[in-house]
């Protein structure tokens, strides 16, 4: 049964999507960083669980490091695929507008924090210029790249480290 990576990636992606939509519709926009951290934190144990389930069911308790890494990466690739699909749909159905509305406020808050720490003073023209630059940079490609690279690097790391520790060999006596 090679369906464990697919099943676990659907569960992971479903939880990520449901939390994202919950915080979006309840207008708790500050919680998105929390969602990102929790998703990365949940990715590592799910890679380990995928490798363990595949090792115990499909491979009969004996798995090489290469196959273990392959199973972990299969979970990561499926998850990234589902999250990229979600991000594409979400981008065109509200995320772009949300970022366009929230970005000026975030830039002003950052400028106020820097001003309070006496690191730099911003005038209104600099802030408007910075806001216009950032608004031009809201693209689907950047959103998808953000999702892809964040999970692929963590997934590669988790897969290969997990494969190193979870591989088993047949002992011949």
> Is residue 173 situated within a structural domain?
no
> Is residue 47 situated within a structural domain?
yes
Query: How many structural domains compose the chain?
Result: 1
Query: Mean pLDDT score of the chain, rounded to an integer?
Result: 84
Helix (H, G, I), strand (E, B) or coil at 172: coil
Structure tokens at 63: 């798995």
How much is the pLDDT for 171? 62
> Is residue 21 situated within a structural domain?
yes
Concatenated DSSP letters of 12-45: HHHHHHHHHHHHHHTT-GGGHHHHHHHHHHHHHH
pLDDT of residue 1 exceeding 60, the answer is no
Choice between 98 and 66, residue whose per-residue pLDDT is larger: 66
How much is the pLDDT for 132? 78
Q: What's the Cα-to-Cα distance from 130 to each of 54, 106, 121, rounded to whole Å?
A: 50, 11, 14
How much is the pLDDT for 86? 93
> Is residue 82 situated within a structural domain?
yes
How much is the pLDDT for 73? 95
Percent of all residues in the chain with a pLDDT value above 70, rounded to a whole number? 91
User: pLDDT tens across 129-160, in order?
Assistant: 777 777 777 788 888 998 899 999 999 999 99
Choice between 161 and 132, residue whose per-residue pLDDT is larger: 161
Domain hosting residue 105, numbered range? 4-166
How much is the pLDDT for 142? 86
User: pLDDT tens across 29-70, in order?
Assistant: 667 778 888 899 999 999 999 999 998 888 888 888 898 999
How much is the pLDDT for 173? 53
Distance between first and last Cα of the chain: 30
Whole-structure pTM value: 0.81
> Is residue 58 situated within a structural domain?
yes
As a whole number, mean pLDDT of residues 70-93 equals 93
> Is residue 172 situated within a structural domain?
no
Whole-angstrom Cα distance, residue 44 to residue 47?
5
> Is residue 171 situated within a structural domain?
no
Choice between 162 and 129, residue whose per-residue pLDDT is larger: 162
């Amino acid at each position: 049964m090679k369906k464990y990576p697919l099943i676990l990636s659907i569960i992971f992606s479903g939880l990520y999507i449901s939390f994202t939509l919950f915080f979006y519709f309840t207008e708790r926009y500050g919680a998105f960083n929390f969602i990102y951290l929790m998703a990365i934190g949940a990715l590592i144990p799910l890679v380990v669980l995928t490798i363990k389930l595949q090792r115990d069911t499909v491979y009969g308790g004996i798995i090489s490091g290469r196959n273990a890494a392959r199973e972990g990466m299969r979970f990561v690739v499926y998850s990234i695929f589902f999250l990229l699909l979600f991000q594409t749909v979400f981008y065109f159905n509200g995320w772009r507008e949300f970022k366009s509305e929230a970005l000026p406020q975030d830039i002003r808050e950052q400028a106020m924090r820097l001003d309070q720490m006496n690191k730099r003073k911003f005038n209104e023209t600099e802030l408007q210029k910075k806001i216009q630059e950032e608004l031009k940079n809201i693209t689907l490609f950047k959103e998808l790249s953000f999702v892809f690279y964040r999970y692929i690097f963590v997934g590669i790391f988790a897969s290969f480290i997990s494969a190193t520790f979870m591989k088993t060999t047949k002992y011949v006596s």
